[in-house]
Chain A
Amino acid sequence: MNNLNAGNHELRVKSSTENLALIREFVSNEARNFGIGKEVVDKLILAVDEASSNIIRHAYKNSPEGEIIVSIILEGDECTIVLTDYGTGFNPAHIKSPDMVAYLKEKKRGGLGIHLMKILMDEVDYLSVSGEYNKLVLKKKIA
C-alpha cells in the first residue's frame, strides 16, 4: 500500500455551534493538504458539519461544554473521518432515509443531516459505548 501521503490529524473543540466554522476549516485544510479535489472536499466538509451539528444538538443537548474530537486519516485512496463525543448515544442506522417529497410536505426537519451524510459519504458507521463515548466514522473514496 502506498502510505506516502498517509497522515493522521486531529481537532478538539467544545460543542458550540460557533465552532462549526472552525471544524469546516480544519476539514477543508487537512483534506486539501492530502491533495483531495474540491468536489470531494466540499462533501467531506458538509458531512462533518452535519455530524458535528447532530453531536451538539443530540449528544450534548445544545450544551457548549462537551468535547468533539475530529480526526482525519488518508489511507490509499480512502479518506476516513472519525468524530468522537462523550455525550448521549444515538444510532444513525435507526434513522430511516426519508421520502423527500412526503418529507418536505410534512414540514419535518429532523433527520435531514443524517440523510445528507449517507448520500455524501460511501460509508457511515457508528459505535456507541454507553456512558463512555460515541464514534461516528465517515468514509469516502477520493479517486
Chain B
Amino acid sequence: MAEFKASLREKEEFSIIELSGYLDAHTAPELESAFTGLIQNNKYKVVVNFKDLEYISSAGLGVFMAYIETMRENQGDIKLVEMKPPVFSIFDLLGFPLLYDIMPGEEEAMNKFKQQGA
C-alpha cells in the first residue's frame, strides 16, 4: 500500500512541510489538512520539501493550486524545493514553474522569501 507523510516543522519564521512517499487522490487530503492547519495558525510562508516524495498525481498538484492564493494574499507563498526529477517533470509538464518558485533547497527558498520582504 502506498504510504505518504506530510510532516511539519518550523525554521525561523517559515513553515516547512516535508513530504514522503506517494501523493495521490487517496493521500492528498492529508496534505490539505496540513495546509488548513497552517492557515488557521496564520502561517503563510511555506516551504514544501519534496526530498522523499516518490510520486505525485494531479490530485496532489491540485492541493498546491488550492492554497497558493491564500498564502500570497497574506504576504506569503508556497515554495517547492528538492524535487526528484520524475516529480519535477510532472510539475513541468503542466507549466507550474511559471507560477511557482521551484528551487534547489530550503536555504534558497528562505532567502527568496527574505528578498521578497517576507
List the interface of chain A (C-beta within 8 A of B).
17-18, 20-22, 24, 42, 46, 49-50, 53, 56-57, 100-101, 104-105, 107-109, 112-113, 115-116, 119-120
Give complex CA distance A42, B85 in Å. 12
The one of A18, A53, A112 in contact with B94, judged by C-beta atoms closer than 8 angstroms, is: A112
Known: A100-B94, A107-B69. A21 touches B1 (CB 8 A): yes
User: In chain B, what residue has the closest Cβ to A117?
Assistant: B58
Q: Are B25 and A109 in contact (CB under 8 A)?
A: no
B34 at the interface (CB under 8 A from A): no
User: In chain B, what residue has the closest Cβ to A47?
Assistant: B57
Q: Are B62 and A112 in contact (CB under 8 A)?
A: yes
Q: Cβ of B24: which chain A residues have Cβ within 8 Å of it? A: 17, 20-21, 49, 53
Q: Can you give 21 contacting A-B residue pairs, CB < 8 Å?
A: A20-B2, A21-B2, A21-B22, A21-B24, A22-B1, A49-B25, A53-B59, A100-B95, A101-B95, A101-B98, A104-B98, A105-B99, A107-B65, A107-B68, A107-B69, A108-B65, A109-B62, A113-B59, A116-B58, A119-B93, A120-B93
Q: Are A104 and B57 in contact (CB under 8 A)?
A: no
List the interface of chain B (C-beta within 8 A of A).
1-2, 22, 24-26, 55, 57-59, 61-62, 65-66, 68-69, 86, 90, 93-96, 98-99
Q: Are A112 and B58 in contact (CB under 8 A)?
A: yes
Binding site secondary structure of chain B:
helix
Q: Taking the nearest CB of chain B, how far is it from the CB of A54, in angstroms? A: 9
Q: Taking the nearest CB of chain A, how far is it from the CB of B112, in angstroms? A: 19
Q: Taking the nearest CB of chain B, how far is it from the CB of A62, in angstroms? A: 10
User: In chain B, what residue has the closest Cβ to A46?
Assistant: B57
Q: Taking the nearest CB of chain A, how far is it from the CB of B90, in angstroms? A: 7
Q: Taking the nearest CB of chain A, how far is it from the CB of B55, in angstroms? A: 8
Q: Are A46 and B90 in contact (CB under 8 A)?
A: yes
Known: A100-B95, A104-B96, A116-B58. A56 touches B25 (CB 8 A): yes
Q: Taking the nearest CB of chain A, how far is it from the CB of B11, in angstroms? A: 27
Give complex CA distance A71, B65 in Å. 32
User: In chain B, what residue has the closest Cβ to A101?
Assistant: B98
The one of A46, A101, A120 in contact with B99, judged by C-beta atoms closer than 8 angstroms, is: A101
Q: Cβ of B59: which chain A residues have Cβ within 8 Å of it? A: 53, 113
Give complex CA distance A59, B66 in Å. 23
Give complex CA distance A41, B58 in Å. 17
Q: Are A104 and B1 in contact (CB under 8 A)?
A: no
Q: Cβ of A21: which chain B residues have Cβ within 8 Å of it? A: 1-2, 22, 24, 26
